[in-house]
């Protein structure tokens, strides 16, 4: 089995799920887009649902790789900003997938799969907040509620960026951190 063939299948599925929606995308569309035979698809995936789940698993893995643990020897606020910037960059690099996940461009039966994905992301954020409290960088708070708030804000911000050109993830991350640290009140 080839890593390249598997990757072509995943890329084709992402593209088609984004364009046609999950329900309207058939395995035949995926294999045509990837340029492989039907039997080849089944060497890698049992079903359309399985390839969809795998796409989401890969995103969680990529998020884990991009989000770095805060190092106290450097400016923690700058590190948080860089983490947010990397998350935005991933969404903008993977616009097809971001549209599927954030705009729920799939069959309602698959919302549970997307909800599992967001549960993993929420756990990543909550874990970071818990670690921040432990290190004395984050004020004591209900990390469950704050994690959901951070996730909801990021989802809305990213949805608003998907169709814009020339977005600077660094500027967006700066604004998010300024808002998170100071809110909107003039000081």
Instruction: Break the chain down into helix, strand, coil percent, rounded to 5.
Output: 75, 0, 25
Counting other chains too, the contacts that 18-26 makes at CB distance below 8 Å and 24 or more residues apart are 18/95, 18/96, 18/97, 18/99, 18/100, 18/105, 19/96, 21/105, 21/106, 21/107, 22/48, 22/52, 22/100, 22/105, 22/106, 22/107, 22/110, 23/106, 23/107
Which domains are assigned to the chain?
Answer: 47-182 (1.10.357.10)
Neighbour-count burial of 87, counting CB atoms closer than 10 A to its CB (0-12 exposed, 13-18 middle, 19+ buried): buried
For residue range 2-54, what is the model confidence (pLDDT) as tens digits?
Answer: 899 999 999 999 889 888 878 889 999 999 999 999 999 999 999 999 998 89
This prediction's pTM: 0.76
CB 161 within 8 A of CB 98: no
Tokens read off for 119: 């549960």
45-90: per-residue pLDDT in tens? Answer: 999 999 988 988 888 788 878 887 777 788 878 888 898 899 899 8
C-alpha–C-alpha distance, residues 19 and 11, integer Å = 12
What are the tokens at 187? 């000081």
């Amino acid at each position: 089995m080839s890593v390249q063939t598997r990757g072509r299948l995943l890329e084709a599925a992402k593209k088609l799920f984004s364009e046609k929606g999950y329900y309207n995308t058939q395995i035949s569309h995926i294999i045509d887009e990837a340029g492989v035979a039907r039997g080849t698809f089944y060497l890698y995936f049992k079903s359309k649902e399985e390839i969809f789940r795998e796409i989401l698993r890969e995103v969680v893995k990529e998020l884990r790789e991009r989000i770095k643990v805060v190092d106290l020897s450097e400016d923690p606020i700058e590190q948080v900003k860089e983490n947010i910037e990397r998350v935005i960059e991933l969404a903008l690099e993977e616009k097809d997938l971001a549209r599927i996940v954030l705009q729920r461009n799939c069959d309602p039966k698959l919302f549970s799969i997307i909800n599992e994905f967001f549960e993993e992301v929420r756990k990543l954020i909550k874990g970071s907040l818990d670690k921040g409290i432990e290190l004395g960088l984050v004020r004591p708070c209900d990390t469950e509620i704050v994690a959901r708030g951070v996730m909801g804000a990021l989802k809305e911000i990213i949805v608003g960026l998907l169709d814009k050109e020339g977005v600077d993830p660094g500027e967006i991350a700066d604004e998010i951190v300024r808002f998170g640290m100071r809110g909107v009140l003039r000081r």
